[in-house]
Amino acid sequence: MTAAIGIKITPKNLLADWGEFEDWELGASDSPSGWSKNGTPTIARESTIIKFGTYSLKLVGTGASQYLYRAIDNGTDYAGRTIKLGVYVYTAGAGVTISLADGVGTTNSDAHTGGGSWELLTVTRQIDASATKLEVELNIPNGITAYYDHCILVEGEVLSFEFNSVNYTLGNWKDAINVRAPSFEIARREGIYIPETHLGSKTVTVRGDVIGSSAADCRTNFDTLVNILRSWKKDEKRNIYILDDRVKEVFLEKLSYDPLELATRRRTFEASFIAENPTWRYINRSRKRQVIAASPTSFNLSYLGNTEDKPIIYFIADQAVDITSCLLENLTTGESVAFTGTVSSGNTLKIDCDTCEVLNNAVDSIGSFSGDFMRLVYGTNYLKFTGSLCTIKVDWYNRYL
């Protein structure tokens, strides 16, 4: 049971990394990557009853007050703000809900009807000024089986917008990549010399029609479109989903329409978006988890994207010793990351190779970093770690041009 291919636009999704249940680092019967469980519900990776992508989450309740949860990083930053959660749920049982919790209180959604189909459950909560966390909860009543997919968590009250043949049609889609190619002229050489090229920004142009049963209805539908395209937060990216498994983060660059169509039941529009990163990414991160029980340790991961990605690498001091020596090499690309500081037992070193951020127990430690902010490239990436015992997690998106 899969959804039809479609194009959706959402505000910035705070669950964009692990909200699709596509990665299962601990196995297909344990919590999916990025999530934890309260109680002992039965968990399974589902590949038949899905909404988007390849997998969904299957939960079977075995007792009271059971749920899967995800704590949002820096969740207290949203204190006083309105947050909205949407999750697609499939069940024939009664009482299935989703919740938002902030450590002061919890708000629950309306229950799924139990009609044996996919329904979008939503819940909105103003996060308490004294909030201690921001947590998403997927509740499963005792004795009930339910499936969950495509979690969206946004700031504000507008969750998502989906083009459909009833109120909106798309007539044209243009996707263009800007490639930076610095060039030089060399004496006594014909033509120009281009030493290297770099992918620059990408522009996406969408042209279509807004339809209504009356001029007023058309205007309402157009206002709905504009509301999702243009946020009051000028620095916030939109997420465009296409083909049910590709996402791009974009800013609205231009929106045009014919003002003479204001009094009609059909209004043509053209929206242009610009993306800092020219690639499409898969809807969910992937993760490689490796326990280092001896040094050196070699392992590999398979990268499926057709263009490179800069991963996030975690070194977790969970082997009852401090991390005092840390070198990870990607033998495929010849790049490496090294850290010369100490990561105390129980703490985590985070190296974000995309944002060039190095955090030791959440404290900026770029001064102890050396080497490269490494890449992952198509195919098998052969990795080698030398240093203290620890657990390594490598998180990435498969990216595509």
Q: Which domains, from first to last, does the chain contain?
A: 13-157 (2.60.120.260), 163-281 (2.40.30.200), 285-400 (2.60.120.860)
Q: Write out the H or E segment, with its range, that includes residue 229.
A: helix 215-229
Q: Residue 76 phi/psi, 5° resolution?
A: -70, -15
Q: pLDDT tens for residues 202-212? A: 999 989 899 99
Tokens of 344: 């105390």
Q: What is the arithmetic mean of pLDDT over 47-75? A: 96
Q: Where does the pLDDT of residue 194 fall: very low under 50, low under 70, confident under 90, or very high at 90 and above?
A: confident
Distance from first CA to last CA of the chain, Å, rounded?
A: 28
Which percentage of the chain shows pLDDT scores above 70?
Answer: 98
In angstroms, the CA 303 to CA 311 distance is 11
Strand partners, 395: 287, 312
Q: Write out the H or E segment, with its range, that includes residue 252.
A: strand 246-257
Q: Are 273 and 7 in contact (CB under 8 A)?
A: no
Look up residue 316 and give its amino acid.
I
Q: pLDDT tens for residues 125-180? A: 999 999 999 999 999 999 999 999 999 999 998 888 888 767 888 888 888 888 88
Tokens of 98: 């989703």
Q: What is the arithmetic mean of pLDDT over 353-367? A: 96
Strand partners, 358: 351
Q: Where does the pLDDT of residue 7 fall: very low under 50, low under 70, confident under 90, or very high at 90 and above?
A: confident
Q: Where does the pLDDT of residue 243 fall: very low under 50, low under 70, confident under 90, or very high at 90 and above?
A: confident
